[in-house]
Structure 1
Amino acid sequence: MKKKRHVFKFLSIVILALGMLLSACSSSTGGNSKKPEATKEKPKEDIGSFPLVVKNDKKPVADGTLNYALVSDTPFEGTLNYAFYTGNPDAEVLQFFDEPLFSTNGDYEFTNDGAATYEMSNDNKTITVKIKDNVNWSDGQPVTAADYEYSFLVIGSKDYTGVRYGDAIIQSIVGMDDYHTGKAKNISGIKIENDKTLSITFTKSNPSLLTGLWPYAMPKHYLGDVAIKDLAKSDKIHKTPIGFGPFKIKKMVPGESMEFERNDDYYKGKPVLGSLILKVVNPKVILQSLKKGEVDIAQFPTDQYKSAKGSKNFQFVGKIDLAYSYIGFKLGHWDAKKSLNIMDNPKFQDKRLRQAMGYALDEKSVGDKIYNGLRFPATSLIPPSFASWSNPDSNPVLYDPKKAKKLLDDAGYKDVDGDGLREDPNGKKFHINYLAMSGGDIAEPLAKFYMQCWKNVGLDVGLVDGRLAEFNSFYKMVESDDPKVDIYGGAWGTGTDVDPYGLYGKDVPFNYSHFVSDKNDQLLADGHSEKAFDHAYRKNAYDEWQKYMNDEMPIIPTLFRSIIYGVNNRVTDYTVDPKDTSFVWSKVGVSSDTPDAE
């Protein structure tokens, strides 16, 4: 009963906070003609106050077991290969048994400290990669140059069923187009020099090469007997995957839990932990799981931070995330045969409608009152974790309901029948179907808050099928361009390469809004052109792109986010500092066989 009372109390707090938000976003606020200065205020909780490294000076015990929570209200899909996974839950699983060939520094640039080293040619068009001799797959076979080549052969194949081929760097490998279209059996720009060394030559140099080159090898000896068209659904990826990370898979309950055992032959040295257990934990109970010591590490929902603050048996570490949330418009569809985005949906072609929907949203109140200041209004499509490239002065669309109403009036969306809701420019009923994802206590009230904000400027918005969609169903509907979906609430983890082409290019499937324009193509191309090796040139290209996308608004950037982790006091040597290039899971341990508990 105690647990139930606590959950009910927290839910009541959340609903109360949402109630205050709904009041703030009432029609009475529509007369505010000024862009709120409050958006510049400091948040209630400063992410800078969170430590980056867990505090525990005790020595780790030998052969300890760590419990890791994958915080989700839905099972993980279990597509356990970097070339094929699409959801962050699978990425959380992958990190323990597989990893990239290259380590990175604090600016997310490749270093030679990882499983492979590299050298660049003088013209920056050829990279030579050498895999270290002691790097082996978990079945004992060496990781080879042929394994790295195989990953490009899979992604570049016309039979490939994943979404990575849209990457601009992959497409610019010499001979990739001929291979992709079936004119060649191999990629001419990839040359294997010996078992451990290969070179990759590109049609043009690209400043993103050392942050965005595909860094993952695939075990050819293990996967090569499966047809590429069947790989994504094969048991070798879903049930018995292998990698060369610090742990090996010992046992799996599909979608629910993973038991890992130490990989004694890990190239960076024998891991401290003897085993690691990952299990899916619902966001609604993660706080109690941490307090009871049932889990040692969990990415913690920022909306619950207020209830967790002051906990004694676990601590928080945190940073600004390489991510942002957004509202996307379905402006067209993905033509799989042509591998192109086609912008042919007339419903949202008037950018004034899209802009108005952005101005209607009070994101500062969401960040302050729901996320305790640990999320804050997104001003562009490049997050501030990319300090050199993010531009907060890119004419962001911030909360201004009066401007939203004027834009709708000017675009011809007016309340013809006097029911408080606007008709379209032809005088017909105008309804917007909104696809929102479930997850945590605030998902539904937050979706209702957004719909209320839109209603306050006269737009009729309702949930697709009248309810939230769970993670897998959500992305299935988004990726398949389900005709029921007009707009959708998503989030992007950007990865460590600032180049946004892989999310917004005309020929990439991740461009879920299907926005296409010549100017977008040009600005994206400028950002990874040879001229962009000049920092000022590239900075200007991305400044212009951010302003352009804020004007066209194919998606509404909603919130930048801080990412925080709850960590049991017994955990040692765990950090989220991107500048700590020495961090690997093999160093993490526990200082006691028994977790701290309240």
Structure 2
Amino acid sequence: MKKRKLIGLATMGVIASLTLAACGGGGGKKEKGGSGNGETETADISKFPIKTTNEDEAIEGGTLEAAMAMDTTFQGLFDPAFNEDAYDSRFMEVSHETLFGFDEHFMIDDSGVATFKLDREAKKGTIQLVKDAKWSDGQPVVAEDIIQPYLIIGHKDYAGVRYGAQFENIVGMTEYHEGKTEDVAGIKKIDDKTVEIEFKEVNPGLEMADGDGGIWQFAMPAHIFKDLPVKDMESSDPVRKNIVTFGPYKMSKIVRGEAVEYTPNEYYYQGKPKLDKIIIRQTPTDSIVEAMKSKKYDMIISMPTDNYSAYKDIEGYELLGRGELAYTYIGFKLGKWDTKAKRVAYDPESKMANKSLRQAMAYAIDNKAIGDKFYNGLRTAANTLVPPVLGDFHAEEVKGYVDQDVDKANKLLDEAGYKDTDGDGLREDPNGEKLEIKFASMSGGEVAQPMAEYYMDQWKEIGLDVKLTTGRLIDFQSFYDKLKNDDPEIDIYQAAWSISVNPSQVALFGPIASFNYTRFEDDKNTELLEAMDSEEAFDTERRIEIFHEWQEYAAEEAFAIPTLYRNELLPVSARVKNFDWNHAPNGRFWYPVELTAEER
């Protein structure tokens, strides 16, 4: 998922400051580390450029080599209907393109392959192809390709994570999902270039450049997928090996666990792109700095910020920076996913169901110190589950758990009946039973282990016995497999979301959202989530009020504690030209990119 954009220019504040920033590696200053005695260099994200400044004359063609900094193996699910993690999404940025373009406020405009027009009174939306796009196999993009992903995601045999409230809002989708009909009644082909979708209710998110609102952003080649059994698609060649797209480049070679190679899509509607080839190799984070020093790559995607000081001055690279559409959080497992009903099954008797316990664990930690000490100021303490990059929708006035308060944490536990009854320094639960809390956290990067240990040490300070699930940090893919399958050895977990530009939280915390890994549900939460996407929410001021009310409520319930808002850096070789990393207007980075020298 990606982050939503807000009403007004507030949402673009970070992006605008980056665009206007001076060139160079970014400014920084020395500050005392909050969780240690040494000094830590903190960086100011507003000092980094968002576009490459290279103006040299371009060479013809050339191969751009990039690294994907990661400590796991990419899954290789290269279709948005099946993709589940940010690494695959970043591989797809080169080759996959959305149907819709969008403006600086992330509202759908006329700049893409297709347009979307919403008739609020009729509760219908019209998608029309306005450019003669072709798939990388030469077939034209047609109306059937727009309809195809709805038929897959909504199918009863679909095993992915995209089906949810936004799809059920389409007339006839529930009946189709239950296998009662062969087609979705509310989706109609008007002609070869036009599709009409009828909704049960309309909401502001429908007009935003994001799939969470109900309009799926991607087409799928129906001439390839229409005859494949849905249950077999996730493991099929069109998803994993032979990828057909209509973006500027096509995936010409995929070696899982190693690299993806791209060559120009000769049928691209804007014309053939400039590079002969792009190669992105997965590369361990512990070797990425040495790779930069030896000029092994033109670009480092998903560059860690925890070791910023080790690479900030390496010659031959320009550091681009921007606010990341992402945040880190600590979630509490409060139930399971009901696979039969396909919805959250909240358990009010679960180990972590006591709100005072969750709040106490939040007050015990100092995320300001973590942001400075572990991330050089490139991550900052988070107060709500809606980041500031979403502008007015972010509730700055909500205090949350930004300020550490150990005394308050202890008081909450005492009053809730969590007391040390046997004198070992660790609290028992209110029934006097031993309380052991299993904490799942991911491996990767230099600070993963010390940060997990910091959290556990802080929780021990308030008398809680917290141990790592499996006894060690967990690989990225295994971690999310355990979360998705509600591993009983997970009581709390540290994870991160890459979020959408539509601020609606339904797809992350709603009762039928499979991404709701906390499995929390109650009437008030559902009421507020539904209000975000209601008819009344077309009034921008009212929608903002609803979002602020939900953030206050979510902070009180503490089913998920936001810990850090994130900024990201992208080292780019000095020979790369015309790379614009701005989230807006379209985020289509790769088509205009050129090289200005044969070698780095």
TM-score computed with the length of structure 1 as normaliser: 0.91
1:223-242 → structure 2 map (5 Å cutoff)? 223-242=225-244
* Partner deviation per Cα, 1:39-91 (whole Å, 9 max, x = no partner): xxxx9322111111111011221112111211101110111110011111111
1:473-488 → structure 2 map (5 Å cutoff)? 473-488=478-493
1:165-244 → structure 2 map (5 Å cutoff)? 165-166=163-164, 168-211=165-208, 212=213, 213-244=215-246
Is 2:118–2:207's contact at 8 Å kept on the other side of the alignment? no
Structure 1 residue 579 displacement after superposition: 3.2
Q: 2: distance between equivalents of 1:453 and 1:584?
A: 42
Partner of 2:88: 90
- The structure 1 residue matched to 2:518, chosen from 513, 517, 533, is 513
Q: 2: distance between equivalents of 1:508 and 1:249?
A: 31
Q: 2: distance between equivalents of 1:556 and 1:586?
A: 39
State the secondary structure of the residue aligned to 2:323: strand
Partner of 2:24: none
Is 2:435–2:465's contact at 8 Å kept on the other side of the alignment? yes
Structure 1's consecutive aligned runs of 4 or more residues displaced over 6 angstroms after TM superposition are: 17-20
- The structure 2 residue matched to 1:362, chosen from 362, 366, 372, is 366
1:75 alignment partner AA: T
* Partner deviation per Cα, 1:105-150 (whole Å, 9 max, x = no partner): 2222111111112222252722211123421111111111111111
Q: 1: distance between equivalents of 2:569 and 2:122?
A: 38
Q: Structure 1 residues 189, 407: closer, same or farther in 2, change over 3 A?
A: same
Partner of 1:380: 384
- The structure 2 residue matched to 1:295, chosen from 297, 312, 336, is 297
1:290 alignment partner AA: M
- The structure 1 residue matched to 2:565, chosen from 549, 554, 560, is 560
Is 2:508–2:516's contact at 8 Å kept on the other side of the alignment? yes
Is 2:337–2:343's contact at 8 Å kept on the other side of the alignment? yes
Is 1:257–1:277's contact at 8 Å kept on the other side of the alignment? yes
Q: 1: distance between equivalents of 2:483 and 2:32?
A: 27
Q: 2: distance between equivalents of 1:273 and 1:497?
A: 33
Q: 2: distance between equivalents of 1:496 and 1:266?
A: 26
Is 1:348 equivalent to 2:352 in the alignment?
A: yes
2:295 alignment partner AA: G
Q: 1: distance between equivalents of 2:221 and 2:594?
A: 29
State the secondary structure of the residue aligned to 1:103: coil
1:372 alignment partner AA: N
State the secondary structure of the residue aligned to 1:208: helix
2:231 alignment partner AA: K
Partner of 1:528: 533
1:592 alignment partner AA: A
Q: 1: distance between equivalents of 2:405 and 2:490?
A: 26
Structure 1 residue 386 displacement after superposition: 0.3
Q: 2: distance between equivalents of 1:348 and 1:289?
A: 43
Is 1:548 equivalent to 2:545 in the alignment?
A: no
Structure 1 residue 580 displacement after superposition: 4.0
1:293 alignment partner AA: K
Q: 2: distance between equivalents of 1:496 and 1:291?
A: 35
Aligned residues: 561
Is 1:320 equivalent to 2:317 in the alignment?
A: no
* Partner deviation per Cα, 1:284-343 (whole Å, 9 max, x = no partner): 111221222211122321111112122221011111111110111110000011011011
Is 1:290–1:568's contact at 8 Å kept on the other side of the alignment? no
State the secondary structure of the residue aligned to 1:151: helix
Structure 1 residue 222 displacement after superposition: 0.9
State the secondary structure of the residue aligned to 1:302: coil
Is 2:61–2:595's contact at 8 Å kept on the other side of the alignment? no
Is 1:109 equivalent to 2:107 in the alignment?
A: yes
- The structure 2 residue matched to 1:468, chosen from 460, 466, 473, is 473
Is 2:327–2:387's contact at 8 Å kept on the other side of the alignment? yes
- The structure 2 residue matched to 1:80, chosen from 73, 78, 81, is 78
Partner of 1:13: none
Q: Which moved more, 1:476-485 or 1:247-256?
A: 247-256
Partner of 1:21: 35
Partner of 1:420: 425
Is 2:307–2:446's contact at 8 Å kept on the other side of the alignment? no
Q: 1: distance between equivalents of 2:495 and 2:120?
A: 41
Structure 1 residue 582 displacement after superposition: 7.5
Q: 2: distance between equivalents of 1:375 and 1:206?
A: 32
Structure 1 residue 20 displacement after superposition: 7.2
Q: 2: distance between equivalents of 1:492 and 1:355?
A: 21
1:182 alignment partner AA: G
Partner of 2:8: none
Structure 1 residue 442 displacement after superposition: 1.1
* Partner deviation per Cα, 1:204-241 (whole Å, 9 max, x = no partner): 11100012321111111112221001111112211112
Is 1:592 equivalent to 2:597 in the alignment?
A: yes
Partner of 2:68: 70
Q: 2: distance between equivalents of 1:110 and 1:19?
A: 43
State the secondary structure of the residue aligned to 1:368: helix
Structure 1 residue 199 displacement after superposition: 1.0
- The structure 2 residue matched to 1:279, chosen from 267, 281, 296, is 281
1:128 alignment partner AA: T
Q: Which moved more, 1:102-111 or 1:556-565?
A: 102-111
1:169 alignment partner AA: Q
Partner of 2:262: 260
Structure 1 residue 97 displacement after superposition: 1.5
- The structure 2 residue matched to 1:339, chosen from 335, 339, 342, is 342
Partner of 1:157: 155
Q: Structure 1 residues 155, 583: closer, same or farther in 2, change over 3 A?
A: closer
State the secondary structure of the residue aligned to 1:452: helix
Q: Structure 1 residues 245, 165: closer, same or farther in 2, change over 3 A?
A: same
* Partner deviation per Cα, 1:261-305 (whole Å, 9 max, x = no partner): 111221122211111001001111112212222111223211111
Q: 2: distance between equivalents of 1:20 and 1:51?
A: 28
Q: Which moved more, 1:247-256 or 1:321-330?
A: 247-256
Is 2:581–2:589's contact at 8 Å kept on the other side of the alignment? no
1:310 alignment partner AA: D
State the secondary structure of the residue aligned to 1:79: coil
Q: Which moved more, 1:545-554 or 1:105-114?
A: 105-114
Partner of 1:130: 128
- The structure 1 residue matched to 2:272, chosen from 255, 270, 273, is 270
Q: 1: distance between equivalents of 2:589 and 2:377?
A: 30
State the secondary structure of the residue aligned to 2:570: strand
Q: Structure 1 residues 395, 20: closer, same or farther in 2, change over 3 A?
A: closer
1:285 alignment partner AA: S
Q: Which moved more, 1:231-240 or 1:79-88?
A: 231-240
2:190 alignment partner AA: E
Is 1:101–1:114's contact at 8 Å kept on the other side of the alignment? yes
Q: RMSD between aligned alpha carbons?
A: 1.8
1:79 alignment partner AA: L
Gaps of 5+ in 1: 1-16, 25-42
Partner of 2:310: 307
Structure 1 residue 185 displacement after superposition: 1.0
Q: 2: distance between equivalents of 1:221 and 1:485?
A: 43
Partner of 1:572: 577
Is 1:145–1:194's contact at 8 Å kept on the other side of the alignment? yes
1:329 alignment partner AA: F
Is 1:22–1:449's contact at 8 Å kept on the other side of the alignment? no
- The structure 1 residue matched to 2:542, chosen from 531, 537, 546, is 537
Gaps of 5+ in 2: 1-30
Q: 2: distance between equivalents of 1:529 and 1:290?
A: 49
